[in-house]
Amino acid sequence: MENIFANKMSDKTDLELQEIIENRFDYQEEAYMAALYEIESRRRKRAEDTSENSITHDSEKDENRYNKIDSPEAIEEEYEEHKSFLDLLKAFVPDKNYFITPVIIYLNILIYTIMILNNVHPIDPSIDDLIKWGGNLRALTLLGEQWRLLTNTFLHGGIFHLLLNMYALLFIGKEIETQIGSSRTLFAYLFTGILASMASLAINEDIVSVGASGAIFGMYGLLIILLTTDKIDLPKATRKNFITSVLCFVGYNLLYGFKEEGIDNAAHIGGLLSGLAVGGFFNLIINKSELNKVFYLIGSTFIILLSIALPNFIPNYFANYNQLMNEFTLCEEKALSISKLGPNANNDQYLNTIREEGIPNWIKCDSLINQIDSIENLPLEILESTKLLKLYCTYRIESFRLMEKSLIEQTNFYDQNLNEYQEKINLIIDKLNGNEVADSTLIVNLNRVEKNVPLYVLDGVPQQTMPNIDSENVKSMDILKSESAIQLYGDRGKNGVILINTK
């Protein structure tokens, strides 16, 4: 150990040397190494000097304290661990040539924190919450919400998802940013993140995708290109180890993604491939900063145009279904506007509402539900609910037509069938809400009024069932046979009519 500190260390006592070693981070590295060398030399000398048997009391104290010093190898190993920890902390601190990576990390953490403060579950957020905060879902993204291609890259499905992604970014972020610059790092991260989101949309029909992993895989793809083309300044051994670590990370995570459910490997692969492409372009212009703006402009224009054209390339079955269901909901609300009429509404108001709002909108609802049959690749549960909605619309149309006839004819003759329809409608709603309801109980018996039963007319008002009246109150009773009954009462009179007048 020949340096300017060597002679100085030979004049120091063991206690002074130990103090330097114990507080090594307060001294220059050369001073620390000189003290380490000197104390190791003294250790060896003492071991060889076996003839010296007398040691002063102070020397014994020094020796006991000296023997507690770790070996140079252990001290050096501890030093390296401490240095690695300091490097990890420094990775969170922005500086002039390194600030995009920390900002991205802080932004992800900030968004996660805001979500938690707004009652989103910290470990297992719900699908609805992820969609609300900007998750990537084909049915919504391709229906004019392309901003989700970017926002989903800053959302995470829980604290563990966030920590794993941020660690993966931290592992390579500083190396990439200090080598290619902050502006290129930001462009590569956003560009590959958006393309990863597009890849997810192309493969996944009904999965809500969130997380920075697509963009992070893009950065790993970029780094692979830089490492394999000698465009970054690293020692040969370090470069080899770095490439091995990066390839192991990418390979393991892709294989794990194919094995486990709930992992968006489409986004990972899309990000990786786009990162390789961006790395290839950066490789060409690595020393040509004047081409940065041109590259950014071309890349941004490509992303914008592709986002706009995306619905033309990716079939959006769920979006079409959702659009029809949204229209159905609006029509249903209009059709049920009769329920908003107050208690003072007269028969004419009810009749007009049924004719102008009720029946036309129920017919439109039925048409919308039938259009769902033309949509391909819908899940079985949606197809089953569509069948129920068809039956629901049929019963609504028939019941509203019966209400219209009741109001026109001023009769309660149809009340029994109206009650039957309403009962079945309620059962259908229960089944749509997930309750167990047998299909056989959903069928309305349209011939519920028994055959060969005559129509009763009490004081000029048709009755669906035989009226319960005291015989002493009956003034007169007449019978109309089929032809005469049909002329006066239509099909209701086909089984004959019994006319009852009371006193």
Q: Give me the pLDDT at residue 84, please.
A: 54
What's the whole-model pTM score?
0.60
161 is annotated as an active-site residue: no
Q: Above pLDDT 70, what percent of the chain?
A: 85
- Residue 57: per-residue pLDDT: 46
**CA 331/CA 309 separation, integer angstroms:** 31
Task: Grade residue 423 by pLDDT with cuts at 50, 70 and 90.
Answer: very high
pLDDT of residue 42: 78
Instruction: Give the pLDDT band of residue 17 (cuts 50, 70, 90).
Output: confident
In order of 41, 338, 419, 445, the CA distances from 437 in angstroms are 89, 28, 18, 17
The single residue of 197, 209, 268, 307 carrying the catalytic annotation is 268
The 10s digit of each residue's pLDDT in 325-335 is 999 999 999 99
- Give the pairing of strands 461-463 and 455-458: antiparallel
Confidence of residue 74 (pLDDT cuts 50, 70, 90): low
How does residue 188 score in pLDDT terms, banded at 50, 70 and 90?
A: very high
Question: Could you tell me the pLDDT band of residue 449, with boundaries at 50, 70 and 90?
Answer: very low
When pLDDT is cut at 50, 70 and 90, the band that residue 69 belongs to is very low
The pLDDT of residue 312: 86
Give percent helix, percent strand, percent coil of the chain, each to the nearest 5. Answer: 70, 5, 25
Query: Is residue 59 pLDDT above 60, yes or no?
Result: no
The ranges assigned to domains in the chain are 6-88, 97-313, 318-442, 455-502
Residue 213 annotated in active site: yes
Nearest to 166, CA basis, from 125, 223, 115, 215: 215
Please give the single-letter amino acid code of residue 2.
Answer: E
Res. 157 pLDDT band, cuts 50 70 90: very high
Can you tell me the mean pLDDT for 438-453? 71
CB neighbours of residue 216 within 10 Å:
31
Nearest Cα residue to 316 out of 131, 135, 139: 139
Per-residue confidence band for 282, with pLDDT thresholds at 50, 70 and 90? confident
CA distance linking residue 262 with residue 256, whole number of Å: 11
pLDDT value of residue 153:
95
pLDDT of residue 300: 92
Q: How confident is the model at residue 29 (pLDDT cuts 50, 70, 90)?
A: low
Would you state the structure tokens that stand for residue 333, as one six-digit string?
Answer: 């609300």
Active-site choice (213, 274, 307, 385): 213
Q: What's the pLDDT at 65?
A: 45
Spell out the CATH class of 97-313: mainly alpha
Q: Say whether pLDDT at 83 is over 70.
A: no
Among 77-81, 136-140, 254-258, 402-406, the range scoring the smallest mean pLDDT is 77-81
Q: Give the rounded distance of the alpha carbon of 188 from its chain centre.
A: 23
The amino acid present at 269, given as its one-letter code, is I
Average pLDDT over residues 210-239: 87
pLDDT per residue as tens digits for the range 367-417: 999 999 888 878 888 899 999 999 999 999 999 999 998 888 887 778 888
pLDDT at position 55: 44
Please provide residue 457's backbone torsions phi and psi, each rounded to the nearest 5 degrees.
Answer: -120, 110
The pLDDT-based confidence of 345 (bands split at 50, 70, 90) is confident
- C-alpha span between 148 and 170 (Å, rounded): 24
d(CA 337, CA 399): 15
Average pLDDT score over the chain: 83
The mean per-residue pLDDT over the stretch 249-261 comes to: 90
